[in-house]
């Protein structure tokens, strides 16, 4: 059970919260290797990758082998137990720089980056890709096979092409071709939001595990909940009522401490919105919470805003 890297969402406060319920692995937000290496002193420390936390994988992206290998070395020196290579991000600002899923159009160059990272560090290196660039170029099985030969120890496949972005449905059955091409752990990703979809993804793909991203929004216990249903691990203590309000307030305060008062309040709004979706917060009260600039006032409003949370369907 792995938490997917989601830019602007799976920051350290959220990963810590997810881990508190139980998670096999959490993956950091993607870091651009070139920017990481040229960042001002103190910037990397502020980013708080959480590299030293035992169940954390740090994801790196880039297009230059030298920058990728040096970034991997520095992240490993910071204590990373696992380094993940991003070759799946579909965002235009990433693919426009020939990083992320754009590398699936250049498999030989992609392999050179993988080889450079594997050679640079002693910790396990993993790879995350999509099925291919578009429907006419489904090359994940070949790229995954070559990556494993180069030393990659786990592969994560999102069941869409880059050109699909997040449209349509993830094709878990298409991931099975990767299963047949590699003999290391395979993880299925895309549209997995609960135990039912997790079972279907595992059955369709033949994967060894699942990666969940959007399904955890507003439900940081989701990984543990799915694990309990599929593997019989301890059922998480899902909070309701006051316990739910206390959890949300704690998450909000952790974000304030991490980012500072102003930025933390702004970054927290997306999470507060998802929590209030779960609680069916009245529209006017929701608007007050999401536009309030005073963190003290937000904390005062949260118990009322979250008073009506209902138990989620499994």
**Of the listed 89, 175, 187, 306, which one is catalytic?**
89
The token duo for 95 is: 């693919």
SS3 156: strand
Tell me if 251 is assigned to a ligand binding site.
no
Residue 302: closest CA among 81, 139, 107, 281? 281
Collapse the DSSP code of 40 into the 3-class scheme (helix H, G, I; strand E, B; otherwise coil) and give the result. Answer: coil
Please report which residue ranges of 206-260 form alpha helices under DSSP H. 222-231, 242-259
Establish whether 105 is an annotated binding residue: no
Which residue matches tokens 């160059």? 109
Does the active-site annotation cover 267?
Answer: no
Burial class (CB in 10 A: 0-12, 13-18, 19+), 63: buried
Calpha distance 168→60 (Å, rounded): 27
Does the annotation place 158 within a ligand binding site? yes
Interatomic CA distance for residues 248 and 276, integer angstroms: 10
Q: Please indicate if the annotation marks 92 as binding a ligand.
A: no
| Cα 158 to Cα 128: distance, rounded to the nearest angstrom | 8
Three-state secondary structure call for residue 247 = helix
**Backbone angles phi and psi of 3, in degrees to 5:** -85, 125
Distances (CA, A) of 163 to 42, 96, 144, 166, 207: 37, 13, 19, 9, 23
Establish whether 42 is an annotated binding residue.
no
DSSP 309: -
Give binding residues as ranges: 59, 128, 158, 213-214
Give binding residues for FMN as ranges: 59, 128, 158, 213-214
Active-site residue list? 89
């Amino acid at each position: 059970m792995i938490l997917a890297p989601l830019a602007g969402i799976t920051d350290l406060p959220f990963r810590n919260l997810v881990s508190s319920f139980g998670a096999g692995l959490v993956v950091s937000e993607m870091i651009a290797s070139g920017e990481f290496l040229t960042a001002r002193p103190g910037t990397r420390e502020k980013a708080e990758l959480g590299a030293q936390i035992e169940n954390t994988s740090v994801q790196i992206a880039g297009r230059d082998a030298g920058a990728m290998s040096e970034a991997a070395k520095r992240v490993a020196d910071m204590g990373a137990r696992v380094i993940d290579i991003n070759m799946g991000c579909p965002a235009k600002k990433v693919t426009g720089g020939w990083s992320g899923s754009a590398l699936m159009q250049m498999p030989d160059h992609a392999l050179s980056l993988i080889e450079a990272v594997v050679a640079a560090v002693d910790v396990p290196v993993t790879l995350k890709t999509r099925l291919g660039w578009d429907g006419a170029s489904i090359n994940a099985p070949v790229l995954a096979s070559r990556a494993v030969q180069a030393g990659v120890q786990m592969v994560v496949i999102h069941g869409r092409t880059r050109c699909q972005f997040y449209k349509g449905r993830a094709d878990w059955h298409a991931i099975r071709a990767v299963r047949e091409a590699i003999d290391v752990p395979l993880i299925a990703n895309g549209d997995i939001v609960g135990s039912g979809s997790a079972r279907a993804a595992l059955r369709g793909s033949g994967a060894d595990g699942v990666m969940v991203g959007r399904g955890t929004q507003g439900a940081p216990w989701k990984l543990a909940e799915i694990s309990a249903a599929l593997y019989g691990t301890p059922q998480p203590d899902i909070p309701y009522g006051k316990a739910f309000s206390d959890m949300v307030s704690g998450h909000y305060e952790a974000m304030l401490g991490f980012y500072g008062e102003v930025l933390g309040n702004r970054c927290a709004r997306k999470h507060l919105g998802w929590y209030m979706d779960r609680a069916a917060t009245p529209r006017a009260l929701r608007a007050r919470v999401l536009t309030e600039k005073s963190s003290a006032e937000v904390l005062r409003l949260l118990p009322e805003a979250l008073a009506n949370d209902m138990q989620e369907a499994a």
